[in-house]
Amino acid sequence: MRLHREGFNIMLTTGLVLLTLNLLAYMYFFSDNATAMIIMAVVSLILFVLIVQFFRIPNRLLTTGETRVIAPADGTIVVIEETEEGEYFKARRRQISIFMSPLNVHVNRNPVSGVVRYFKYYPGKYLVAWHPKSSTENERTTVVIESASGVQVLMRQIAGAVARRIIWYVKEGQPVEQGQEMGFIKFGSRVDVFLPLDAEIHVKIGDRTKGGVTVLAELA
């Protein structure tokens, strides 16, 4: 396991702030109260560990396959439905949504290999990630990857009430590899994937996904 570069500044800042607070508490507030100091130290350590685990990148054997659509994120399947995708396709598509809690790994990965045909970033609101309007009103990105067979898969990173920063590493015209990091969302969020209607879905509501490992669907 390694730690994501997006977390280095946050982890360093958090560590320094907690260390400073504990030193001040020891020198000025709880110098004669060992129990209070122990409680504060334990709480600080738990908070720091929670921050660090959020930026973890576990070692995994990634799943690949030209016709497979791989989960772009860790989390829980909360939506599987046929819907109108109005931004890029402007047509009916099969939507799969993954909710990422603060305890999940938050690296986002390319669901298929191919070329990025479309990319767009939208500033927006910070509604809770499961809100029906979060996919159209929240801060978000939209990425469309066209596979070697010509099938296009749309992936949307969506910020939530806690997640307030979306990171991406792709741009239009860029070739990308399946399972490769394409971005990161800090502290809880959602990822939507839009597939052709004839895609064979391999997951169900409530399933837990592992980014780069779980097969969401098979393309025709």
Positions marked active-site:
189
Q: In what order do the strands lie in the sheet with 107-109?
A: 107-109, 181-185, 166-168
Contact 161, 126 (CB under 8 A): yes
Which residues sit opposite 80 in a β-bridge? 96
Residue 74 identity: D
Q: Encoding tokens for residue 26?
A: 């020891």
> What whole-number distance in Å separates Cα of residue 59 and Cα of residue 93?
33
3-class DSSP state of 152: strand
3-class DSSP state of 6: helix
For the purposes of burial, counting CB atoms within 10 Å of the CB of 27, is it exposed (0-12), middle (13-18) or buried (19 or more)?
Answer: exposed
